[in-house]
Amino acid sequence: MAKVEQKIIPLNGDNAVALAVKQCDVDVVAAYPITPQTIIVEKFSEYVADGEVDTEFVCVESEHTAMTCCITASATGARTFTATASAGLALMHEMLGVASGCRTPVVMSVVNRALSAPINIHCDHSDAMCERDIGWIQLYAENSQEAYDSIIQAFRIAENLDVTLPTMVGLDGFVLSHTLENVSVLPDEAVKKFVGIRQVPMVINHEGKLVPFKLDPANPLTIGPLDLQDYYFEHKRQQEESMRKALDVIKKVNDEYAEQSGRSYGNGLVEAYRLDDAEVAAVCMGSTAGTVKTVVDELRANGVKVGLLRMRAFRPLPVEDIVSNLSGKKAVAVMDRACSFGGNGGPLFHEIRHAVYDLPDKPKLVNYIYGLGGRDIPPTLIDGIYKELQKIAETGEIERKIQFIGLRE
């Protein structure tokens, strides 16, 4: 049961994100509009103009500059946020590595949208998948409620002193960003108390003094210096260690948030849906999970033992949770809403496959690439995936390991 009384408000995913940011006592928001993210920064600019938040809102000329502004503000100790999508995220690419390398815990909402060309403004995960190795934590929401909750959690995760890494929260473009649903909203003060005041690590500066790790004229530091063979490798290794620590932090924040809100998302890293006795399973991310759950329930009602593993965290990759949930399954379908061109399967398929590779009882894995450019994935197609999994489980044979589903060929 939730400890805090909440109210239900009809919100689309973008407005849910904007409201969450408003409640998180953010110091600086720098942004540039791009469909289907624009509503987030437009709504937040209204909060600023109406005096509802004490936030410096910086209108910039590009997404590259938006991220640069957030990094700089974060380096002074400010809590910062931005939002983007598709080509905007791609334009940020150079600065995304700077954000993670400088250990600035920027929070960003990515409203997932296909990359050009041809131009497409609808949902797939190709934008964020291009950034999977850039050093950002990546969380993916199934619905607008989770988008709201995940933004609030993201500040706690990113700013944790064992983590101190930038964090992006993905929500599916138009499917969530522009679709109205009921969202349970915490009181402003409850959110402000939950996220707390940002703390910064203590480091030893060039004078041998213990000082906060932030840009401060009273305690000079260099952040993001030239870093050649002498220390670059060590700094990259530190980022990997922080990603490892983030696994437990994400779970802890999920649990603590559940105590306040009454809502949790699996263990924070993955959500196992009717998997305990499942013989076959699907793995997916984002809003598609809601449709898959409906199909799972229908098949279960007919006595078919199927389940779903929803990946909430893609970075850091929760390998132990993947292994524990898929071990012993006869066949598993990995559903990718992105394509790794020439890579022999989609990016999520690669990750799941390598996670279970060493299992003595590893399942037969098949990859279904679907929904590129916003193409619908109706229950009938998902039902067909489960039927094929049952056949694989019975015969042990996979006819096509990598398939494009819902496609004209």
pLDDT at 393: 98
Residue whose C-alpha is closest to residue 20's, from 195, 178, 174, 179: 195
Question: Which portions of the chain are predicted below pLDDT 70?
Answer: 1-2
**Within the chain, which residue ranges are assigned CATH 3.40.50.970?**
7-200+233-261
Sign of the alpha-carbon dihedral angle for 394, 346, 322, 313? negative
Question: Rounded to an integer, what distance in angstroms lies between the CA atom of residue 247 and that of residue 298?
Answer: 33
Let me know: does 322 contact 309? Beta carbons within 8 Å.
Answer: yes
pLDDT at 1: 60
DSSP-derived letter for residue 174 is: T
* Token output for 69: 């502004």
Integer CA distances (angstroms), 123 to 8, 40, 172, 370, 394, in order:
27, 16, 6, 11, 35
pLDDT at 132: 97
Give residue 281's Cα distance to chain centre: 22
**Within the chain, which residue ranges are assigned CATH 3.40.50.920?**
270-404
Domain 7-200+233-261, architecture per CATH: 3-Layer(aba) Sandwich (3.40)
pLDDT at 3: 83
pLDDT at 240: 98
pLDDT at 409: 84
Question: Rounded to an integer, what distance in angstroms lies between the CA atom of residue 47 and that of residue 54?
Answer: 9
DSSP-derived letter for residue 50 is: T
Question: Rounded to an integer, what distance in angstroms lies between the CA atom of residue 58 and that of residue 241?
Answer: 33
* Token output for 4: 């805090």
Model-level pTM?
0.98
Let me know: does 173 contact 121? Beta carbons within 8 Å.
Answer: yes
Output the CATH code of domain 270-404. Answer: 3.40.50.920
